Amino acid sequence: SQTIHQWPATLVQPVGSPLSLECTVEGTSNPNLYWYRQAAGRGLQLLFYSVGIGQISSEVPQNLSASRPQDRQFILSSKKLLLSDSGFYLCAWSQDSLSTDTQYFGPGTRLTVL
Amino acid sequence: GESVGLHLPTLSVQEGDNSIINCAYSNSASDYFIWYKQESGKGPQFIIDIRSNMDKRQGQRVTVLLNKTVKHLSLQIAATQPGDSAVYFCAESRPGTYKYIFGTGTRLKVLA
């Protein structure tokens, strides 16, 4: 069966520091991968998605970036964090290349920027 | 845990009763719909999905109903249990796009 992992689970970082969040998927190959942010009291905001190694699409202009160095690894990064980057970051995967496939979420990373 | 849905609508039900959570979707071209359950501090968990060529689908203790005429989706939970307490939200998807459109969610509270 497929599993999705995210780490770290929680992170407290000072403003201006770098960020690296990692997501890995097991039990499948060539998944579509997604990064979402969930702010308190709000819905899920799609940040990036990837349909293959090195292929990244950005949904929202911001100081975050994403990379996919391996088929089942998706990384979310920032060079300098802002206070507004605080939130719950979720990685998700789907099996197929079509949107009408179920997206399965990881456990999330709670990021607090102070 | 994650303070998801601080100002979400809340549905309170007695343990053992049935719960109905509603969602209005936005696009008549959407052809795939999903319900997720999210417990505090955790990632959303897939519950059930339905495609636009169906109007009803049943799972274990859950039923999803789709009314395309009024663009309405509902999740019915039978014999609600304390473990069902969570935020529930729907998502819709259109052909030819990777994006889901997510609802803001409903908090379900199960009263003992």
pLDDT by residue, tens only, chain A of 114 residues:
899 999 999 999 999 999 999 999 999 999 999 999 998 767 899 999 999 998 999 988 689 999 999 999 999 999 999 999 999 999 999 986 655 689 999 999 999 999
Cβ contacts of A6 on chain B, cutoff 8 Å: 43
Q: How distant, in Å, are the alpha carbons of A12, A36, B20, B89 from that of B68?
A: 44, 28, 18, 18
Token pair for A61 = 């202009």
Selected residues 23-82 of chain B with any CB under 8 Å from a CB in chain A: 31-32, 34, 36, 41-46, 49, 51
Nearest CB neighbour to A102, from listed B2, B8, B34: B34
Quote the minimal CA–CA distance from B15 to chain A in Å.
26
pLDDT tens sequence across B1-57: 333 345 689 999 999 999 999 999 988 999 999 999 999 999 999 999 999 999 999
Q: Return the SS3 of B19.
A: strand
Contact B105 A106 (CB under 8 A): no
Among the partner-chain residues B42, B46, B104, the one whose CB lies closest to the CB of A104 is B46
For residue A92, give both structure tokens.
């998700």
Mean pLDDT, chain B, whole residue set: 91
> What is the rounded distance in angstroms from the CA atom of residue A28 to the CA atom of residue A18?
30
Of B5, B42, B104, the CB nearest to A108: B42
Q: Which residues of A touch B59 (CB under 8 A)?
A: none
Contact status, residue A107 vs residue A6, Cβ threshold 8 Å: yes
Contacts of A93 in chain B (CB under 8 A): none
Alpha carbon distance A78, A72 (integer Å): 20
